[in-house]
Amino acid sequence: MKNILPIAVLLLMVSVCYAQKAEISIQASSGLASYGGRSATSRPIVLINDTAPYYNVSSPYSKKSSFSYGFAIQVQKVSAKNLISGFRLGFDHLSTISHFDSYTAMGGTVSIEEGTVKLQNKLLQANPYLGYRLPVKNVHLDLTAGLNAGLILKSEYEVSHEGLFNLFDTKPEKNFVNTKIDLGPAVGLTATCKRIGFNASYYYGLINYTRNLDHFPNGQVYARYLRLGISYRIK
C-alpha cells in the first residue's frame, strides 16, 4: 500500500509516453464531501475537560459538507469508436462539518449557542477509468466510470465553540481512522468545448474508516464525495 504513489506516477508517465494521440488535461475542483454509515452524524456528543484543553468527540465524521478542493492531471485516449480509456492522478483536501449545542463537562451538561466539529482529510487519488464520448456537435461529452483509490496522507479534526479557543485534536490519528486506503467506484461526466472543460463526478467509498476500533463498536463510516471542477486540455 505504501507504494501507491510511485506506482501511480509510473502509470501516468507510461500513459503520456505511449499514447501518441492522448488528451492531457489539468483540473481544479471543489465539491461536497460527506460520510455515510451508522457512525456518521450531524450532531456529535462532545466531552470537554474544564481545566485542560482536552476533549473527546463521539464521532467527527459528519453527514454535512464543508469547503473542499482538489487538483489533478488526467491522461486519456479516445478510439475511433469513441471509447475512452484514461487515468487521473490528483490531490483532494476534503472537509466536513457538524454542529452541537451542548457539551458534557465535569460539572454536567453545558448548553451553548453553537459549536462545530470540523474534520479534514488529505488524500492522494488514483483513478483509472473507461468511458464513452457522445457525439455532440462542437462539444465533447464524456461519460466515464472507474475505480478510485485514495491514499490518506493526513487526517485531523478540530472542535470550537463560543468561549473556547479552536483546539486541534492531539490524540493519535489511529483513534478515529483505521485505514490508510480508501477505495470505491467513481462515475463522471465532462463537457469540453475546445480546450476548456466542465466536469462532475461522484465517489462512493467502500472502505470502513472505523473498522476494528474499540471506541467505535460495530462502527461504520464510508466516504462520499461529489466533485465539481474545471479543466484545461494542454494536449
Phi, psi of 16 (to 5 degrees): -65, -40
- E strand or H helix at 203, and its extent? strand 196-204
Q: Give a yes or no: residue 119 inside a domain.
A: yes
Alpha carbon distance 205, 150 (integer Å): 10
Between 218 and 38, the more confident residue is 38
What are 96-135's pLDDT values in tens digits? 999 887 777 776 776 777 788 889 999 999 999 999 999 8
Residue 16 lies in a domain: no
Give domain status of residue 17, yes or no. Answer: no
The residue that leads in pLDDT, 160 or 41, is: 41
CA–CA distance, 131 with 54 (Å, rounded to integer): 49
Strands of 40-107 (E only): list them: 46-48, 55-57, 67-78, 83-105
**pLDDT for position 175:** 73
Helix (H) or strand (E) holding 8: helix 4-18
Is 88 contained in some domain?
A: yes
Tell me, yes or no, whether 94 lies in a domain: yes
Q: Output the pLDDT for position 54.
A: 66
| Residue among 80, 77, 84, 68 nearest 29 (CA) | 68
Phi and psi angles of residue 4, each rounded to the nearest 5 degrees, phi first:
-65, -35
pLDDT at 171: 47
Quick check: is 212 in a domain? Answer: yes
Domain that holds residue 94: 4-11+22-140+147-233
Task: Say yes or no to pLDDT of 191 above 80.
Answer: yes
pLDDT digits (tens, 9 = 90+) for 38-97: 888 888 878 776 665 567 788 889 999 888 999 999 999 998 899 999 999 999 999 999
Q: What pTM does this model have? A: 0.83
**Who contacts 108 (Cβ-Cβ below 8 Å, separation ≥6)?**
none
Counted domains in the chain: 1
**Banded pLDDT at 150 (limits 50, 70, 90):** very high
